[in-house]
Chains A and B, each alone.
Chain A
Amino acid sequence: MAYSDKVIDHYENPRNVGSFDKNDPSIATGMVGAPACGDVMKLQLKIDEAGIIEDAKFKTYGCGSAIASSSLVTEWVKGKSIEEAQKLSNTEIAEELALPPVKIHCSILAEDAIKAAIADYNSKK
């Protein structure tokens, strides 16, 4: 599979790999995907009292484009409000990384991970 330079860069130097304590009330955790499908993404957002995403971390089990999609998302959401992050769409991710058609599901998964994290945050309130 020929990947774009951006995918390879994110894969080789993933940004913001790691975990926050998921029980901390300021931490939003979204885990999406399934091992059976070959992709599991865990995205965590650290959200301040004003609803701004201060920090983000991820861990991903999946192919190179799944790792790159989640790494990219952690960069993009930092500094954004919850509302802004909610609006990030998979097509922006796919375009930025020039994902081939068979890998579009990786960008969808990354979008789902943001939504799942925000849902988790809202449920904690």
Chain B
Amino acid sequence: MKLPIYLDYAATTPVDPRVAEAMMQCLTMDGTFGNPASRSHRFGWQAEELVDIARNNIADLVNADPREIVFTSGATESNNLAIKGAAKFYQKKGKHVITAKTEHKAVLDTCRELERQGFEVTYLDVLPNGLVDLNVLESAMRDDTVLVSIMHVNNEIGVVQDIEKIGELCRARKIVFHVDAAQSAGKLPIDLAELKVDLMSFSGHKIYGPKGIGALFVRRKPRIRLEAQMHGGGHERGFRSGTLAVHQIVGMGEAFRIAKEDMEKDTQHILELRARLWEGVKDIEEIYINGDDKHFVPGIFNISFNFVEGESLIMALKDMAVSSGSACTSASLEPSYVLRALGLTDELAHSSIRFSIGRFTTEEEIDHVIGQVNNAIGKLREMSPLWEMFKDGIDLNTIEWEAH
């Protein structure tokens, strides 16, 4: 077993060796290095063919038409293109956008930018399990609402939103519906022929493909239009100019092909490891799972260990790579805004650890993690004044703390 153990698959994944192999065929003089936009020679035609195959593979995983797939530099760019592009194209109809407080920064910050440009944005509260309340969503919809953007799977807590029902609410009012599916593609079945989703963002590197590549699904029927955010040679049917990064696209295509082939196997494997991890830590007192116990992706497991601060916990968990909702591990001094939006107290938000399990995680690794988690919690609680007070039966809420 190699240390440290990688348990941060929701941040990024290693490239699958099969993907790396396919990418390497697209770089050198001996490979397919041509510009797919070159129409006058074989180098261009061969590159275009590889891009077409990749586009088919991506469309296949989510049951879309390949002509509905637009390549971008990643899910952040896809979110930008979808949200700014749709809001601006449809702004004559209205200037109101709805999203949720637990969205990824790539969505929230894009919405903030729209606000600076004169749009009005509603940021929905979520239920304590992280789900958007459909009644709350419906009552936020107005005549001038042009876009709803709700993520499929939350990156911190793994909760799965009901995009089927949300799509229906949007379609009934002719509101464009965008879904950030960076964390769900390849992990959950997605059927865009059935779902009433108009725009969907994908990432390459969350599913064993390379970084720096993503895609946006743009529905053809009913046709969704966007204002381009990147201008130039009119690539990708004018939605996104710029020479196609063939090796990246081929990598993403191969990753999506493998994801479709292996989804059941991967899911089963990860579910078993998640259950094993839980079995090994569940007897620790005062721990809480963040998210929903029915609607979740197995790969993301977010647990709060009360009375232990997240960054010191990460230091104690030195044999593993995990992330924390603690303020100390982020650039800002606030704890995770996602956990705060669930209504968690600051202590619980500071005490959270996200374990994200993936295709290459092993039982042996999980067993090692269980041992280290148990030791770390024991050691840090021994050192924690809050744990001592809790054990003495003191209610921490009754104490007047001096904020600093």
**Is A114's beta carbon under 8 Å from chain B?**
no
**Is B307's beta carbon under 8 Å from chain A?**
yes
Contact: A59 with B385, CB < 8 Å? yes
Give, as a whole number of angstroms, the nearest-CB distance from A33 to chain B.
Answer: 6
Contact: A67 with B403, CB < 8 Å? no
Chain B stretch 308-354: residues in CB contact (< 8 A) with chain A: 308-312, 315, 326-329, 333, 335, 345-347, 350
Give, as a whole number of angstroms, the nearest-CB distance from A66 to chain B.
Answer: 8
Give the interface residue-count category, chain B.
20 to 34
CA distance A3 to B308 in the complex (A): 19
Contact: A61 with B311, CB < 8 Å? no
Of all chain B residues, the one with the shortest Cβ separation from A106 is B328
A-B contact count (CB 8 A): 88
Give, as a whole number of angstroms, the nearest-CB distance from A39 to chain B.
Answer: 7
**Is A79's beta carbon under 8 Å from chain B?**
no
Contact: A59 with B401, CB < 8 Å? no
Contact: B350 with A35, CB < 8 Å? yes
Give the interface residue-count category, chain A.
20 to 34
Q: Which stretch from A11-19, A47-55, A84-92, A117-125 is at the chain B interface? A: A11-19
Contact: B335 with A60, CB < 8 Å? no
CA distance A107 to B169 in the complex (A): 53
- Given A17-B383, A38-B326, decide whether A67 and B402 contact each other with a Cβ distance below 8 A: no
Chain B residues near A38 (CB-CB < 8 A):
309-311, 326-328, 335, 346, 350
- Given A39-B309, A64-B315, A67-B383, decide whether A34 and B401 contact each other with a Cβ distance below 8 A: yes
Contact: A11 with B384, CB < 8 Å? no
Residue of B329, B333, B385, B402 near A61 (CB, 8 A) is B385
Give, as a whole number of angstroms, the nearest-CB distance from B288 to chain A.
Answer: 15
**Is A72's beta carbon under 8 Å from chain B?**
no
Ranked 6 nearest A-B pairs via Cβ = A34-B401, A36-B346, A42-B385, A63-B311, A59-B385, A63-B328
Q: Which residues of A contact B (CB under 8 A)?
A: 1, 3, 8, 11, 14, 17, 19, 31-42, 59-64, 66-67, 105, 108-109, 112
25 A-B pairs in the complex with CB atoms less than 8 angstroms apart? A1-B329, A33-B402, A35-B345, A35-B401, A37-B327, A37-B333, A38-B311, A38-B326, A38-B346, A38-B350, A40-B385, A40-B401, A42-B388, A59-B385, A59-B388, A61-B307, A61-B309, A61-B384, A61-B385, A61-B387, A62-B309, A62-B312, A63-B311, A66-B309, A109-B404
Besides the known contacts A34-B404, A38-B328, A63-B309, 9 further A-B residue pairs in the complex with CB atoms under 8 A apart: A17-B383, A32-B404, A35-B386, A35-B396, A38-B309, A42-B388, A61-B308, A61-B384, A62-B312
